[in-house]
């Protein structure tokens, strides 16, 4: 050991940042949908890593008076996002290809996916039970409505089973005929399961969750996002997760126009709110005497209950 290693210049010993709660579920498969899962393969960092990075950038001067949780909440509230990039997580995911297609739109992760050019496609496809078929939403062109009548659902589930079996048999016949795996796969259904390793930093993971946990996202990917958020991130970085729930997931934002309408409502009641909403293009009076609620009018109406207000239109 050199003099320096023992003296004032000795390097500060560092311990690996662990998350004991996440360690207890490392490798555990959290089941999603009928045959999917998410499991944590590895991670780097914990809540303390976020704080450590923030304190490097702010200097020790800001240390007083703000404990770790408060600092994390401050960072989240003010979108100081880089400290959250100090934490990384690697997940092993098994998901149907249609879900995966939405998932990989998130470009800020590193991905390795099971290759159906190299290997025989996974022999599993997502199957819906009779009560899982959803009708087209009447209000949202991208969404679903209620479950279909169960007798119709039962027929759809039977047809689905037959179709999956036929598609798989065709695929296997092609392989037996010596067709390459990259060509034989071309007619496999999108419901076929795929697997991947997906590595992402916490900042980008929270962004993924902010888009894929809310109701606007498709139910299937939401199921994965909910497991990742509530089972994994909540264990891994509890302070960051709680701040994320408060300032992002459960938060509502109001545009300038929305603030004006809410202010008019609070000050002048329903008629003032409606007047402001008409003037700002949230509502429209038609020639036939009816009043149309435009898209922003409907969106603001959905936000009002969280402010303790009942929509005046
Ligand atoms: C409810 C919902 C419906 C959707 N519907 C459709 C649809 O109908 N059609 C469709 O095609 N997609 C659709 N998407 C996908 C959506 O448009 C985004 O591609 C996806 O959510 C990824 O978002 P992102 O780019 O913010 O995330 P990431 O790719 O993870 O990127 C994170 C952030 O990094 C930055 N970034 C990354 N790459 C770039 C870049 N090249 N240039 C600039 N900044 C970058 C951006 O700030 C971005 O927000 C939908 C998504 C949701 C949640």
The greatest distance separating any two alpha carbons of the chain, rounded to the nearest whole angstrom, comes to 91
Best residue among 108, 111, 198, 248 to mutate for probing ligand 1's pocket (most ligand atoms within 8 Å of CB) is: 108
Binding site membership of 222 for ligand 1 (Cβ less than 6 Å): no
Catalytic residues: 212
pLDDT, position 15: 83
| pLDDT value at residue 9 | 75
The partner residues of 110 in beta bridges, in order of sequence, read 199
Report how far ligand 1's centroid is from the alpha carbon of 106 (Å): 6
Per CATH, the architecture of 16-120+191-249 is what?
Answer: 2-Layer Sandwich (3.30)
Q: Whose CA is nearest to atom 42 of ligand 1?
A: 107
What are 100-116's pLDDT values in tens digits? 999 999 999 999 999 99
Give the residue extent of every domain in the chain: 16-120+191-249, 131-187, 256-307
pLDDT one-digit tens code per residue, 121-177:
999 999 999 999 998 888 888 888 889 999 999 999 999 999 999 999 999 999 999
pLDDT digits (tens, 9 = 90+) for 68-85: 999 999 999 999 999 999
Interatomic CA distance for residues 262 and 205, integer angstroms? 33
Any atom of ligand 1 within 6 Å of the Cβ of 134: no
Q: What is the pLDDT of residues 294-312, one digit of tens each?
A: 999 999 999 999 999 999 9
On the question of pLDDT at 3 being above 60, the answer is: no
Nearest CA to ligand 1 atom 16: 105
Question: What are the distances in angstroms from CA 98 to CA 105, 251, 281?
Answer: 12, 29, 37
Tell me how far the alpha carbon of residue 217 lies from the centroid of ligand 1, in angstroms.
12
Distance CA 202, CA 124 (A): 31
């Amino acid at each position: 050991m050199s003099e320096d290693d023992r003296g004032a210049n000795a390097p500060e010993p560092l311990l690996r940042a662990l998350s004991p709660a996440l360690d207890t579920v490392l490798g555990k498969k959290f089941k999603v949908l009928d045959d999917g899962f998410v499991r944590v393969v590895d991670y780097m960092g914990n809540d303390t890593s976020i704080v450590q990075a923030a304190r490097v950038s702010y200097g020790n001067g800001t240390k007083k008076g703000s404990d770790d949780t408060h600092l994390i909440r401050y960072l989240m509230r003010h979108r100081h996002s880089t400290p959250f990039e100090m934490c990384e997580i690697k997940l092993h995911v098994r998901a149907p290809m249609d879900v995966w297609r939405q998932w990989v739109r998130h470009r800020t992760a590193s991905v390795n996916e099971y290759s159906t050019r190299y290997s025989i496609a996974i022999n599993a496809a997502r199957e819906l039970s009779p009560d899982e078929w959803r009708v087209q939403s009447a209000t949202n062109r991208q969404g679903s409505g209620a479950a279909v009548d169960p007798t119709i659902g039962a027929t759809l589930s039977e047809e689905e089973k037959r179709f999956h079996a036929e598609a798989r048999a065709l695929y296997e016949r092609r392989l037996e005929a010596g067709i390459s795996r990259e060509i034989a796969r071309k007619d496999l259904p999108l419901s076929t399961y795929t697997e991947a390793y997906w590595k992402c930093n916490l900042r980008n993971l929270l962004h993924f969750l902010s888009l894929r946990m809310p109701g606007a996202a498709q139910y299937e990917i939401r199921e994965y996002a909910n497991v990742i958020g509530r089972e994994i991130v909540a264990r891994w970085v509890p302070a960051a997760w709680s701040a994320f729930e408060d300032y992002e997931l459960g938060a509502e934002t109001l545009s300038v126009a929305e603030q004006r309408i809410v202010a008019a409502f609070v000050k002048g009641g329903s008629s003032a709110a409606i007047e402001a909403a008409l003037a700002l293009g949230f509502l429209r009076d038609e020639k036939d005497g009816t009043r149309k609620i435009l898209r922003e009018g409907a969106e603001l109406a959905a936000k009002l209950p969280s402010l303790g207000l009942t929509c005046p239109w």
